[in-house]
């Protein structure tokens, strides 16, 4: 990726006296993490896929910290996939600049 594109797709924030960066992408939301234990998009998906083993991120939203599935037409959390940092962002998406 050309450096100018990388710069345009990188967001910065400060935390605990450090600069953190996140590379924006379709599957890398750099905004606040979605920690909700309910999923409206998952509800819609499960109405049509009542016992699906997974719910795709385009239905649940890419910012959710959970992996979801359908059980009897209702979204259910399988596991927590990501950690949330003290300011509410997905910890795995942010890197500290040296």
List pLDDT tens digits, range 57-92. 999 999 999 999 999 999 999 999 999 999 999 999
| Nearest-angstrom CA–CA distance, 12 and 34 | 19
| Nearest-angstrom CA–CA distance, 36 and 94 | 20
| Nearest-angstrom CA–CA distance, 54 and 70 | 7
SS3 97: coil
Could you tell me if 73 and 95 lie in one domain? no
Nearest Cα to Cα of residue 48 among 25, 26, 73: 73
Could you tell me if 18 and 40 lie in one domain? no
- Residue 1: the pLDDT is 76
Question: How many Cβ atoms are within 10 Å of 8's Cβ, its own excluded?
Answer: 10
- Residue 59: the pLDDT is 97
- Residue 19: the pLDDT is 97
Could you tell me if 65 and 97 lie in one domain? no
Domain residues for the domain of 45 are 34-81
> What's this model's pTM, rounded to 2 decimal places?
0.87
Q: pLDDT (tens digit, 9 = 90+) per residue, 7-34?
A: 889 999 999 999 999 998 877 889 999 9
Q: Give the total number of structural domains in the chain.
A: 2
| Nearest-angstrom CA–CA distance, 51 and 72 | 6
- Residue 67: the pLDDT is 98
């Amino acid at each position: 990726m050309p450096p100018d594109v990388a710069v345009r797709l990188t967001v910065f924030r400060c935390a605990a006296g450090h600069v953190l960066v996140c590379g924006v992408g379709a599957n890398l939301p750099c905004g606040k993490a979605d920690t909700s234990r309910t999923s409206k998009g998952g509800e819609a998906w499960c109405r049509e896929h009542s016992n699906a083993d997974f719910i795709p991120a385009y239905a649940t939203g890419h910012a959710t910290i959970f992996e979801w599935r359908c059980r009897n037409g209702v979204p259910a959390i399988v596991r927590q996939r990501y950690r949330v940092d003290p300011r509410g962002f997905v910890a795995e998406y942010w890197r500290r600049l040296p």
